[in-house]
Amino acid sequence: MKKLLPLLLILVLLGSGCTVPILNIEIPGIPNLFGGPTVVEYEHDIIIIRSLEAIPAEIDSGQSTRIVAYVENKGDITVKDINVKLYDYCEGLFYINNNLLASMCPNNAWADTGHSTCKITLLPGQIAPVAWILEQRGEVNLKTICPPDGVKVSAMYNYSTSSLTTISFIAREELERTLEQRTFKSTESYIVAGQGPIKPYLTVEDNQPIPVYTGGARTVLKLVISNKGSGQLATSSIQAAKVVITGLDKNGDMRPINPCNLKEGSSSGSAPAGVPVYNPALELKFIGKDTSPMLCNVDVSNLKVVRTGTRHIEVTVKYDYIFSKSVQVTVNPKIAT
């Protein structure tokens, strides 16, 4: 995310990028003609199963097939401890051959005694093969595809994604002057969402620039976390304490006001002491691809704005994510001889 700030400043100057709110499609290089924030998004899917093959895909009763998954890191950082797992393979009909000479796991890093899970590390852009031998056991009297939707392989990994949101402010005296001279121009936020399938989007609910004056200037922020990837979370919700906000401080010039469900992090938690995190007792549950909106009132009356100014808030969310793929294996009855 350190690379995002210079890019964010360039975006503020050039206005590069537009998201069509209805279609949720980013159009680079075009000003936002539809209102609302301009959103620039980076790669959604990071760890993917580029291809999954059964070699051969059709066998006779009593034969074996090799399941080969090619796992890719599409991000720009190294991802460790990726659990690549073979599952839902009709255990009983098939049996995993745990002979390491016949199977393939980088560095033989099998995570379980049954050799169903291989733990790997991938550098940016790296692709690694993981393979299992499935032996068909037991007599098959009819042509069989089990399970009907295919043998499945998943890749589970831990990741974090950050986003930056700009907020524009204007001193009350400057606001009055521009209104009087009819030179006032409204602004919108720029949001830069980093790499990763789970992305936090912080938006400003008030018109911008936001007037700043002593004694009561406030604004409302809204946070929605979206699943933009092709997989799913390892759990049905995100622990709220995994959401860290940088740019708000109860003792600073942008102070969150209850009800924000914010608490201070600690050195032993997901954020250093003093950095706001959501209440650990709160779970952020997904309804479809998005969480319910979380609103936060913020006191900005202590901001020092001579005429106009811009601030940014960073939101980082940590999570476990699963990408999966399936391939069909057909078993034919053994031909009588």
**Is pLDDT above 90 for 179?**
yes
The answer to whether the Cα torsion of 169, 174, 179, 182 is positive or negative is negative
Q: Taking residues 34-63, report their average pLDDT.
A: 92
Which H helix or E strand runs over 195? Answer: none
| CA-closest candidate to residue 322, choices 41, 78, 53, 45 | 45
DSSP code at position 187: B
pLDDT (0 to 100) of residue 9? 41
CA distance 187 to 135: 63
Higher pLDDT, 125 or 32: 125
Global pTM? 0.84
Does residue 296 register a pLDDT over 70? yes
Task: Compute the average pLDDT of residues 44-50.
Answer: 98
Q: Would you state the pLDDT for residue 260? A: 77
Cα 127 to Cα 153: distance, rounded to the nearest angstrom: 16
- Only one residue has tokens 């100057």, namely 13
d(CA 261, CA 266): 16
Tokens of 299: 């006191």
Rounded to whole angstroms, how far apart are CA atoms 48 and 71?
A: 6
C-alpha distances (whole Å) from 234 to each of 63, 91, 101, 160 are 34, 23, 31, 14
Tens of pLDDT, residue by residue over 255-289, are 888 667 777 776 555 666 767 777 777 888 899 99
With respect to CATH, is domain 47-158+323-332 assigned 2.30.110.10?
Answer: no
Whole-angstrom Cα distance, residue 279 to residue 106? 40
> Which range scores top for mean pLDDT: 96-100, 123-127, 278-282?
123-127
- Quick check: 65 and 55 in contact, CB under 8 A? yes
Angstrom distance (rounded) from CA 255 to CA 240 = 19
Q: What does the pLDDT average to over 215-231?
A: 92
Q: What is the mean pLDDT of residues 220-248?
A: 91
* Burial (Cβ within 10 Å: 0-12, 13-18, ≥19) of residue 85: buried
Lowest mean pLDDT among 138-152, 172-186, 212-226, 269-283: 269-283
